[in-house]
Structure 1
Amino acid sequence: MDSRLPDDVGQLAEAATRRFRRLGGVDAARRAEADPATRETARKALDELGAFDLDIRADADQLLAGAVLCRAAGAVVLPWPLIPHLVRVSGRHLVLIDPGHVRVDHGTAGFSWLGADLTGSAWPLETGTPDVAGRLGPFVTGAALGQEQPGRIDGDDIARYLTLQSWTILGALESALAEVTEHVRTRQQFGQALSRFQAVRFTMADITIAVQGLEQLAKLTTWRLGRGDTPQRIADAMALRLHATETAVTALRASHQLYGALGFCDETDLSVLDRHLQPTLRYPLSAERLALALVPFAGSGALTARIA
């Protein structure tokens, strides 16, 4: 497998990064918290990039184009539900859910929502007001399952959704790593930069290797989605998604340790990245429950390390 991006996909990734920077980067997410109506600027930016013309089911290159868009969006925690749009079904925005505790990120965006669990059972969703009591992100809302009989979602769409979530997490972690790297280079302690301390260097090396490893696994998994049967593709995507969550927990914890209390203040991008990333990390399932859901695939032989 050649891990280099095709030229046209690489150009899209660069264009998306530049466009989201013009939007304000992470500041766009800050503004959206104060005024949710500003999310419209994020939608317009995606429209300009051709995101709404992508058909990620059509071929491998279009799926990869969707993946790099999710990576760029994750890098600024773009305040717009890109993945549900890319994986929409019959005009409804698809979101993976836990049927017993339904939550939707950006549920007030005015879309027609379709919720599906990891087995493929799907229901129309009726989104409500922001779930202020227990929400894990600024735009998370509660939702209820619709009255229609549950339908079925193609297992390949579940695999695509989980894979795109992992690319979103990767983008956010790369931004967090860049910010923390700059912090340890400029922050002075005992008369020298934090980056001069061996323990800090070891921690930064661990974070860097973990994030780079996630990038390679994301590329491999995306490539493998065009190979094997559906159970194998779902197992691959679930394994990637679990690894992305575990990498995020480790990397964000270490980043906050290096930043100190300042990392929890919204004056830093790290705080905003962390808060806005939480719905992606926790929905549809926690890392523990996702690992349990992956166990049957290991027993059936669908979870394999074979490349061919």
Structure 2
Amino acid sequence: MNTALPEDTAEFAAVAAKRLARVGGPQAALRAETEEAPRAEARAALAEIGAFDLDVRSGPDDLLAAAVLCQAAGATALPYPLVEELLRIDGERLTLVNPRAARVDHGDLSGGWVAADLDGTRYHPRMGTRTHAKLGPFLVPATLSEPDGTVPSADVDVHLVLGSWRILGAMQRALEIVTEHVRSRIQFGRPLADFQAVKFATADASVAVRGLHELAKYTVWRLGTAPAQARSADALVLRLKAADTARQVLRTSHQLLGALGFCDESDISVLDRHTQPLIRLPASSEELAQRLIPAVRNGCLETLFTEFAAEPA
């Protein structure tokens, strides 16, 4: 099976990665915690490469382009709610929330918002004041209105998938950083990369990230081909895998970088803190897994071992 991206998508991904890197990467995201300019620069960069011309609901080409754009945004810790912009409803950004404790990333930005839970129930959020929390510095607590209709389940699925691509980009960059570190850091007269335990840890992280990448590409394809219930199950699986992979890679990164990994002078620290809302919201890994149980029972979650009824002769 050839899982390589189409040539035009690969070219767009390279252009997007290069342009978003010019915003400043994780250190620009760090400045955005106290300055407004980096977020304006991030939006300008997205507009320059045509991000807001993408229609993720129109078909597989724009959806895949949006996916690789989110991947580039994750790798640079872009301080802007890209997924929410790409899924605007009637001009308002769409965010996924946990109704029990609604939090909206970048909810302090001007403009309207629409909130939905994982069941697609629609709310109108009233934003509070940004908390400047260390884990998720752009999170804003929100008060939700009474339920006001629903959003399409396809929008919820795409939101989960594009958010997972953003996690993927962040973890790919984290793996690059830790790999460079263990190759250059000398301990006991040898690079850290020469020690067997370090090799095992980085190899496990690399396999996890590569597996997530392949699953992400497969899930984007499934969004355009699978039945609705199967698409929802696939989106949940991808987000669950993304969150678990992020925890593994970030744990390995902090272990191998030591105290440096917790200092904002290190890009790992910024990537970690700014990715936490995607890892934790709109639901924990445990809740995502619980939501998958019915899909396993009724056969909506397809696996290599799923049995299909034989077609009539």
Offset, 1:34: 2.4
Alpha-carbon distance in 1 for matches of 2:78, 2:256? 25
Corresponding residue number in structure 1 for 2:193: 195
Alpha-carbon distance in 2 for matches of 1:243, 1:150? 31
SS at structure 1 position matched to 2:197: helix
Alpha-carbon distance in 2 for matches of 1:287, 1:296? 16
Letter of the 1:197 counterpart: F
Offset, 1:177: 0.3
Offset, 1:20: 1.5
For structure 1, the residue ranges without an aligned partner over 5 or more in a row are: none
Alpha-carbon distance in 2 for matches of 1:94, 1:299? 30
Where in structure 2 are the equivalents of 1:73-222 lying within 5 Å?
73-132=73-132, 136-147=135-146, 149-222=147-220
Corresponding residue number in structure 1 for 2:311: none
Alpha-carbon distance in 1 for matches of 2:163, 2:270? 18
Offset, 1:294: 1.4
Alpha-carbon distance in 2 for matches of 1:129, 1:47? 27
Where in structure 2 are the equivalents of 1:232-243 lying within 5 Å?
232-243=230-241
Letter of the 1:146 counterpart: S
Corresponding residue number in structure 1 for 2:32: 32
Contact 1:221 1:236 in 2 (8 A): yes
2:286 is the alignment partner of 1:288: yes
For structure 2, the residue ranges without an aligned partner over 5 or more in a row are: 309-313
Alpha-carbon distance in 2 for matches of 1:188, 1:82? 39
Of 160-169 and 1-10, the range deviating more from structure 2: 1-10
Contact 2:131 2:137 in 1 (8 A): no
**Runs of 4+ with deviation above 6 angstroms:** none
Corresponding residue number in structure 2 for 1:248: 246
Letter of the 2:103 counterpart: R
Letter of the 1:85 counterpart: E
Letter of the 1:81 counterpart: P
Identity %: 50
Letter of the 1:61 counterpart: D
SS at structure 1 position matched to 2:128: strand
SS at structure 2 position matched to 1:151: coil
Contact 2:117 2:282 in 1 (8 A): yes
Alpha-carbon distance in 2 for matches of 1:43, 1:233? 30
SS at structure 2 position matched to 1:144: strand
TM-score (norm 2): 0.95
Q: 1:282 to 1:200 in 2, by over 3 A?
A: same
Q: Tell me how large the CA RMSD over aligned residues is.
A: 1.5
Q: 1:262 to 1:135 in 2, by over 3 A?
A: closer
Corresponding residue number in structure 1 for 2:271: 273
Cα-to-partner distance string for 1:192-234 (whole Å, 9 max, x where unaligned): 1100101101111111111000000000000010112111101
Contact 2:80 2:106 in 1 (8 A): yes
TM-score (norm 1): 0.96
Alpha-carbon distance in 2 for matches of 1:36, 1:286? 30
